[in-house]
Amino acid sequence: MLRRRLTRLFGGDERRVDSRTIYVGHRPCPATEAFIPPKFCDNRIVSSKYTVWNFLPKNLFEQFRRIANFYFLIIFLVQVIVDTPTSPVTSGLPLFFVITVTAIKQGYEDWLRHKADNEVNKYLVTVLEDGLRTRKESEKIKVGDVVEVVEDETFPCDLILLQSSREDDTCFVTTASLDGESNHKTHYTVPDTVKDLDSLNATIECEQPQPDLYKFVGRMHIYRNDHEPAVRSLGPENLLLKGATLKNTEKIYCVAVYTGMETKMALNYQGKSQKRSAVEKSINAFLLVYLCILVSKALVCTTLKYVWQSKPGQDEPWYNEKTQRERDSNLYLKMFTDFLSFMVLFNFIIPVSMYVTVEMQKFLGSFFITWDKDFYDPEIQEGALVNTSDLNEELGQVEYVFTDKTGTLTQNNMEFIECCIDGFQYKYRDAGTELDGFCVTDGPVSKLQQKAGREKEELFLRALCLCHTVQVKEPTGQLREQVDGLGLGLGRGRGLGLGLGLGLGLDGEGLPQEEQTGFIASSPDEVALVKGAMKYGFTFLGLESKNMKILNRNNDVEVYELLHVLNFDPVRRRMSVIVRSKSGDTLLFCKGADSSIFPRVRQEEVERIRMHVERNATEGYRTLCVAYKQLSEDEYAQADAGLREARLALQDREERLLTIYNQVETGMSLIGATAVEDRLQEEAAHTMEALQGAGMKVWVLTGDKMETAKSTCYACRLFQRGTELLELTVRTLEEGGRKREERLHELLLEYHRKAVQDAPPVKAGGVTSWSTANQDYGFIIDGATLSMVLNSSPDSNSSLYKSLFLQICQNCTSVLCCRMAPLQKAQIVKMVKNSKGSPITLSIGDGANDVSMILEAHVGIGIKGKEGRQAVRNSDYAVPKLKHLKKLLLAHGHLYYVRIAHLVQYFFYKNLCFILPQFLYQFFCGYSQQPLYDAAYLTMYNICFTSMPILAYSLLEQHICMEILLDNATLYRGIAKNGMLRWGPFLYWTLLGIYQGLLFFFGVRYLFSNPALQDNGQVFGNWSYGTIVFSILVFTVTLKLALDTRHWTWINHFVIWGSLAFYVFFSFFWGGIIWPFLKQQRLYFVFANMLSSVSAWLVIILLIMLSLLPDILLVVFRKPRGPRAPQMAAVTPLSYKHLKERE
């Protein structure tokens, strides 16, 4: 690991050399050459943070980076070294407790990561060595090893496909854990590799490891005896990525090209760093203010002590003569030790126990999320999961939500809805009126029972059955025997369902449902279209040695020879097939986006179909247009020659193919259009609307195609009908025929003018522009263009591009980023996270491709979806469904933030009240470091007397009922941008603490102007003075919390009144017994004597009422504000538990 990092840091081999050479099977090529094996990294994956050796120093270093922990360590050392008024135990014990608990928690989390790494690294794989199959651990695979992978196995590293058990030399792969797409993708073997891999002599020359999942460039030199080496080009279609899974293919053989931390999956993995909440940063800022107050107090007292002692007779009075040693000591050293003693005496102004309370509040508070019954999903029989309790309050501060699409916003479940043929709409109904397999609907069309001609219908259905890359799933074992027994003489019974996709006839009875749904495709909408054609009587039976078979309405099998597939790409936004029928006709069928098809067909045909396409698009359906063209022999011969030549090119292969595709796909006839629905997650649109209502900006980051993602954004109401879309994709950059860089610069400036310069300013705290009458903007960018924006060439102004891009995005209602590599998702999150104002970001996803952005965001949320559990394992919180995000943020997040903000302010306030009288007391005791309070009170104040009420408050308080928080998303904005922990509220709490501290001290001093307060004329001493002040203090700060409590439960009552009762009981008990282990007992019967004085009772009650007067007046005269204000101010009678259980 260290060597690898150093090489990267100081520019090792990978920076000097642009490519690497790999010897297949570690054999020299040609055999006569000397063989020096190149060095590459091993196949170990490391995601853990600590090792056994560095855990203690590294963890302690991370913990002592916290200002508070470091401060308490210094104070503890001072108490140990210098003779101070208080014991080292008072600061050492809480510090040790916090450090130990945190270390155990972080150590356990890292142990789980080690365990997960070992599962991957120790996984057994089959490797071919000298013609023998050997099993070895995954971490021992080396670059150049030939690996055997069987069906449903995950690839152990990045591999080049050499051989497949399928006859057509392909294999099928799912990359759900990499890019979120759970569809099957087809990969191809390298042409001309020999069947016997033992005799294969070949080298692979390819690029150095890089994180882009969709890019790979290489070539393979195949050496044969006495022949020139054959050179074959390698592309992404030959590369199998680590983390992907082999499907529908019995067995394949591959060669390892990238291993371990150099695989594309590992390069896309973002290391796990310790996340810190905004509240913690506020605590640190407040802590610095209180540290300044502390140092100021200590300096003032030290200075005044030596000023006072400089007066004659004050330094050495007759009753307190100095020893010779004291006279000889260094004056400056004595001043410094006095300063440290004052620091320790006033040290309690820094709330040491706050950190313990905050840790407990976060840990115990997280249980309320896991216990919430609304998060329970009966389908997977699981509820919410909390992996990191440190970030509960961040859930109430989110400003940007970054969400994955596939499996998060959608169920990834496409369904054929309707189609339009020659301008007539056809909508399938199971129990509807069926006319030749069609049910015709949609207004006047259904009334007139009009249809397109039968010939057009059949042509359209043939196009759906032929224009795709769908494969029929191969049945296995017992099922294969059943299929062989059934012929293709199929009856068109009611059960002509998905069984026909397997070549099964009759009703498909006796077969499990999953075996009947036997289609595999790179895109789920392709399967939906093939199944849609089946509903109307045209069934695709499969591809056998370049022959496509379909079963038509008359139960006849039609066979077409597949000549060429013109693959889909995001620039063309269409795909075509060229087929030859039995009659010898050469046909081109094409399907694609309307904007891509309409300019290539006869314009008189467009208007008949445009209306249907636009209506379907506004309903959120995915629309595709279908066209065809009959090719003459000359046209086909020219296209065939051009395609073959372009596919062999090593340079500019894509550009050459694109030119040929565009030449062929012209002058077509438009047949019709289809509408397919990608089912949204339950309540997805409602959830997105609520998040936007709460003032959050939603960005969709997906590896999927732009068209799919765009229709999903419309369906989720992220884009509205009136939203103007600003598109920055490869397609828009190539319009105008200029350089991409120039076009990018021009578009960014144009969009910036529209969205930023010409847009009216939004008032702070007002409703964002998406809900006003102003023009809404939506922004769309793809991965390739994003790379240009973030990593511009050195001569261009990269920071300007990034700044323009960010400003445009921040002024748009929603942003869609498609064709994103996992690392690009993290880059986007990081860019927004580090932008002006440091907004709080949240990422939510369900696949391993989302892990990087989940780790990068302030809060990462995993969805317990169908794509493995990597996102859940790496997240801070996990929920079963997207809809649960609404309650997690708007209810739980809101309440957690309000609770912890109140906890933090309250702790600083009560400690200021506590230590201010101690400071004022020094002016009346000759700055002698005499404590005002007894040592027991000093230790117990934060630990016992005042800690439990605030802990209960911070766990149970509901200043607004949960139902109201969910109904009024705008309430979330009231606490946005750390609203309750800004300097304004902090100043209010500090002034309140100063007011009450002054009142306690001088109120009691006024009482002591005549110290004979008992009937027998005895006077009260200094410990009685301190005890009266302390009693008023404890009652005031506890009752202040009672006044702030809006949601009373029996626990609140128990801890508030119980704490006060415990203080009274402890004071009687502590002062009522002679304790043998104490050298001096300062409080012996002091508390009982104090309570025997009526004057003391009067002052205690009077000062408590005067201290709480500002709060009482504030509650009485402050008018409730905001929506549904009466409910906000009302005390909620329901307990937290009852609230959850109420239906």
Asked whether 505 and 487 are in contact (CB, 8 A), the reply is yes
Output the CA angle 962-963-965, nearest 5 degrees: 65
Check if 152 is active-site.
Answer: no
HEC readout, 783-817: HHHHHHHHCCCCCCCHHHHHHHHHHHHHCCCEEEE
DSSP-based helix, strand, coil % in the chain, nearest 5: 50, 15, 35
Letter for the amino acid at 222?
I
CA distance 3 to 262: 13
Letter for the amino acid at 898?
V
Tokens of 566: 């013109």
Output the CA angle 173-177-183, nearest 5 degrees: 40
Q: Exposed, middle or buried, 478 (CB in 10 Å: 0-12/13-18/19+)?
A: exposed
3-state class (DSSP) for residue 126: strand
For residue 1052, which phi and psi values (nearest 5 degrees)?
Answer: -60, -45
Closest CA to 972 of 685, 684, 692: 692
Q: Exposed, middle or buried, 901 (CB in 10 Å: 0-12/13-18/19+)?
A: buried
Among the options 158, 179, 390, 404, which is catalytic? 404
Which strand (E) or helix (H) includes residue 988?
A: helix 983-1007
Asked whether 703 and 175 are in contact (CB, 8 A), the reply is no
CA distance 1005 to 932: 13
CA distance 440 to 463: 20
Tokens of 59: 């963890």
Residue 697 φ/ψ region, left for φ over 0, alpha for ψ in the -120 to 50 degree band, beta for the rest: beta
Torsion, Cα 741 746 750 753, to 10 degrees, reads 90
CA distance 625 to 421: 10
β-strands 841-845, 859-863 pairing: parallel
Q: Which residue has the tokens 């029989």?
A: 381
Q: DSSP secondary-structure letter at 668?
A: B
- Omega cis (within 30) before 30: yes
CA distance 372 to 265: 35
Q: Exposed, middle or buried, 4 (CB in 10 Å: 0-12/13-18/19+)?
A: middle
Cβ neighbours for 730, distance < 8 A, ≥ 6 positions apart: 570, 571, 782, 784, 785
CA distance 306 to 354: 34
Closest CA to 678 of 634, 730, 624: 624
Q: DSSP secondary-structure letter at 377?
A: B
278: how many CB neighbours lie within 10 A of its CB? 19
Orientation angle between helical segments 740-752 and 783-790, nearest 10 degrees: 90
For residue 470, which phi and psi values (nearest 5 degrees)?
Answer: -70, 140
Letter for the amino acid at 767?
V
**How long a stretch of residues is the chain?**
1143
Q: Exposed, middle or buried, 918 (CB in 10 Å: 0-12/13-18/19+)?
A: buried
Closest CA to 293 of 912, 794, 936: 912
Q: What is the DSSP string of 893-938?
A: IHHHHHHHHHHHHHHHHHHHHHHHHHHHHGGGTTT----SS-HHHH
> Annotated catalytic sites, by residue?
404
